[in-house]
Amino acid sequence: MPKESFLRNRIKSVGFALKGMFLLLRTEPSIKIQFFIALIVTAFGFYFEISSTEWIVQVLAIGIVMGIEGVNTAIEKICDYIQPNLDPKIGFIKDISAGAVMIVSVLASIVGLIIYVPKIF
């Protein structure tokens, strides 16, 4: 059986990644909320005409929060698959994963405040 080309493998990988992104957006309530917030702060960025540096920081903050939320969702799904019943060790893992989302969400909120509070007031 001939080995697939590097390019064909990369195209397939992008396809799987896009499928995963759309699955997240379609099925996970928390990422839907984060996506909605991302749209709002993006609109604020255009309205307040934030600088290129502020755009970079804002886009990175949004991407990190949504990316970590995706990892958190994957960890939770794996945990549920491995142990569908209540288990303190699985609960500990899921709490840590959710805590990671909380950390980046709080920091992203601080970034948003740093960018927008001076523009609003």
CATH assignment at residue 48: 1.10.287.3610
Instruction: State the total domains in the chain.
Output: 1
Region 106-116: what's the mean pLDDT?
97
Catalytic residue of the set 4, 49, 54, 69: 69
Q: Judge whether 69 counts as a catalytic residue.
A: yes
Binding residues: 28, 69, 76, 94-95
Range of the domain at 54: 33-119
Structure tokens at 96: 């840590």
pLDDT tens per residue, range 26-74: 999 999 999 999 999 999 999 999 999 999 999 999 999 999 999 999 9
Any domain includes 67:
yes
Any domain includes 96:
yes
Binding residues for a divalent metal cation: 28, 76
Question: Residue 79: CB partners within 8 Å, gap ≥ 6?
Answer: 90, 93, 94
Any domain includes 74:
yes
Structure tokens at 109: 């909120």
Any domain includes 10:
no
Q: pTM here?
A: 0.87
